[in-house]
Amino acid sequence: MQKWFSTFLFLSMMHITLAQGMRDELRGGDRLERTCFDISYYDLHFIPDGVAKTIFGKVEVQCLITAKSSRIQMDLFENMIMDSIVYSGGLLSFKRDYDAVFIDLPAEVKVGDHFVFTMHYHGIPVEAVMPPWDGGVIWAKEENGSPWWAVSCQGKGASLWWPNKEDYRDEPDSMRIHCTIPSNLYAVCNGQEELSEKLDNGFTVYNWKVSYPINNYNVTFNIADYAHWNDWYKSQYGDSLALDYYVLKKNLDKSKQHFQQVKPMIECFENYLGKYPFFEDGYALVETPYLGMEHQGAIAYGNRYTRQYLGMDRSGQQLNFDYIIIHETGHEWWGNSVSAGDMADMWIHESFCTYSEAIYVECLYGYDRAMTYVNALKNDVSNSAPIIGVYGLNKEGHGDMYVKGMLFLNTLRHVINNDLLWWSTIKKMADEQFKYATTNYNEVVEFFNRETKLNLSPFFDQYVRHSKIPQLNYSIKKKRGKTIFTFQWKTDAKNFEMPVEVRVRGKEYKIIASSVASCELQVDGNFSDIEFEEKKFYFKKNKI
């Protein structure tokens, strides 16, 4: 009996694993049904019900057919029901395979045609257990019992609550979002609020317009009895940016004081990264029942009006800023504007965004305190797996992509060793090269090689595509009144080079070390120890 049960349990686990693998391949794969069309516009209408925990909705999809195919793939979690798909007054046939929806194209639709169809759906969406990390809809309540609903779905995907093409490479050029809720509540979505429509049945339709490309997982709703106040930021680029804040009414006065840090933050980011990317849609912070998320133009805020991360000072410097506001706003440049074309390259979002925290600290507090900030969480990095994921399988890299990503970019800055070039390259990446675009590892590496005129490919290879950081093997020998220090990098990447900066009895030296062969530094006098520069460069040292 025990043997039978063990076999049954093993086969059941194998089935679950294979099924999940199929789901990931369907969502992340590069097949004709996904590449034969390009999304241009979504028009999403939905009605959330926090009592029944359901969503009823429809979404009009406008796309361009770019290659010959008999069907296309859209996505909606299999626990959600696709009621019908309408095209030109008739119904389209479709087939469901796990979370994928394969739609048969009408015979008359040809390459080059603009194809418009509407998907009607309903169901009980996945409910988030520990948002924002696990993903799903949050049906919370305020202390007074008033509804407080939201969604956060970066990892699991937007198709857990609305049907879309769940493909990082294909963002709509723009979209509209229409949320129908009881009139005593307020619905905040992405973009600019358009005129709301009060219905006779005690409900109101809140209409929002997104004027820019948007990641599907950034599409959001936040529903509560919100208080709304607004302000303006005068940009150095000559325009005035609308700042909107949606908070629980009990926190209105507190928010007006706490959110004053927004203007100097945006000024810092514009100095280093270029103009705020979504000027026409404006900037908003929306109070949520979870910690935070970078929803484009409607940033989820749940840090409880505390300093740093829920009041914890992680850098040990008593820096007076709210981590969630700074980090999630950084994503407006890194992730929302500059976007990965595959979940495997989520490190582009998180590494560059986490580094934007250091940019902010340097802007307000100076270089030395920024270096302390960068290195504060170094011991939390595991270096147990690469920060890049697996392409085509809906698989992101290791969570080290946050802190390790910041450390690796700080190292890259000092490898380049030219701040004028470094900051111009970072700004060009965010404000020109990949603005409103999707990109990938190879394109980012090629961009840095071209801009710096250096071969940084081995550097990126080691820090991004391998789990371990460079190990500096060194030895110390004394000979005829001199001390000879020998250095060599041990790396997975071939032809790796990186500077080594050291201090010997207060005197500073710099030498370029390689993984190919050892190099020597000779110093007059007898010394048994050496001090390495480890704030500028992230590596492991090993005395041999």
Tracing tokens 């040809």 back to the chain, one arrives at 110
Pair 67, 209 in one domain? yes
Q: Which helix (H) or strand (E) holds 426?
A: helix 419-428
Q: Which sign does the torsion angle of CA 193, 343, 100, 149 carry?
A: negative
Please state, in angstroms and as integers, the Cα–Cα distance from residue 135 to each residue in 161, 162, 217, 285, following that order.
11, 14, 10, 20
pLDDT of residue 15: 47
Of 11-15, 47-51, 191-195, 408-412, least confident by mean pLDDT is 11-15
Determine the Cα–Cα distance for residues 208 and 182; give it in Å rounded to an integer.
Answer: 17
| Sheet containing 471-479, strands listed edge to edge, beginning at the edge strand earlier in sequence | 519-524, 482-490, 471-479, 540-543
Are 45 and 23 within one domain? no
Full 3-state SS string of 232-291: EEECCCCCEEEEEEEEEHHHHHHHHHHHHHHHHHHHHHHHHHCCCCCCCCCEEEEECCCC
**Per-residue confidence (pLDDT) for residue 10, from 0 to 100:** 54
Taking residues 288-296, what's their average pLDDT? 98
Contact criterion met (CB below 8 Å) for 456 and 412: yes
Statement: residue 420 has pLDDT above 90: yes
Tokens representing 91 are: 């119904």
Token digits for 89? Answer: 């007054």
Give the domain-ending residue among 444, 465, 486: 465
Residues 120 and 158 in one domain: yes
Looking at the fold, whether 477 and 452 belong to one and the same domain comes out as no
| Residue 515, C-beta contacts closer than 8 angstroms, at least 6 positions apart | 458, 470, 488, 489, 490, 491, 493, 494, 495, 496, 497
Domain of 451, CATH number, reads 1.10.390.10
pLDDT (0 to 100) of residue 266: 98
Q: For the packed helices 419-428 and 403-416, what is the interaxial angle rounded to 10 degrees?
A: 130
- Cβ proximity of 94 and 82 under 8 Å: yes
Q: How far is CA 429 from CA 113, 164, 345, 446, in A?
A: 33, 29, 16, 12
- pLDDT by residue (tens digit) across 93-119? 999 999 999 999 999 999 999 999 999
**Statement to judge: residues 395 and 375 lie in one domain:** yes
- How confident is the model over 505-528, as a mean pLDDT? 95
Give the residue from 232, 293, 294 showing the smallest Cα distance to 267.
Answer: 232
Q: Is the peptide bond before 470 cis (omega within 30 degrees of 0)?
A: no
- How many domains is the chain built from? 4
The parent domain of residue 260 ranges over 31-328
460 shares a domain with 350: yes
Asked whether residue 370 falls in the same domain as residue 263, the answer is no
Lowest mean pLDDT across 3-7, 122-126, 236-240, 360-364: 3-7
Q: What is the pLDDT of residues 464-489, one digit of tens each?
A: 999 999 999 999 999 989 999 999 99
Question: What DSSP state is assigned to residue 182?
Answer: E
* Interatomic CA distance for residues 426 and 356, integer angstroms: 10
Q: What is the mean pLDDT of residues 27-46?
A: 94
Question: How far apart, in whole angstroms, are the C-alpha atoms of residue 374 and residue 356?
Answer: 10
Both 344 and 296 in one domain: the answer is: no
Q: Where is the domain boundary, 446, 465, 484? A: 465
For residues 532 and 387, what is the distance between their CA atoms, to the nearest angstrom? 26
Question: What's this model's pTM, rounded to 2 decimal places?
Answer: 0.94
Residue among 407, 330, 331 nearest 371 (CA): 407
Higher local confidence (pLDDT), 174 or 505: 174
Confidence of residue 17 (pLDDT cuts 50, 70, 90): low
- Among the candidates 308, 328, 348, a domain finishes at 328
Tell me how far apart the alpha carbons of residues 33 and 49 are, in angstroms, rounded to a whole number.
Answer: 33
Across 367-378, average pLDDT: 98
pLDDT of 81 above 60: yes
Question: pLDDT (tens digit, 9 = 90+) per residue, 431-440?
Answer: 999 999 999 9
Pairing of strands 437-439, 338-340: parallel
- Both 185 and 316 in one domain: the answer is yes
pLDDT at 5: 53
Q: Which of 7-16, 189-198, 360-369 has the lowest mean pLDDT?
A: 7-16
The whole-angstrom separation of Cα 298 and Cα 387 is: 27
pLDDT in tens, 388-414: 999 999 999 999 999 999 999 999 999
**Same-domain status, 154 and 284:** yes
**Which residue has tokens 């390790």?**
404
Tokens of 155: 């990892």
CATH number at 229 reads 2.60.40.1730
| Residue 150 shares a structural domain with residue 244 | yes
3-state secondary structure of 282: coil
Q: For residue 180, what are the β-bridge partners?
A: 205
Q: Token pair for residue 415?
A: 């490898």
One domain for residues 41 and 17: no
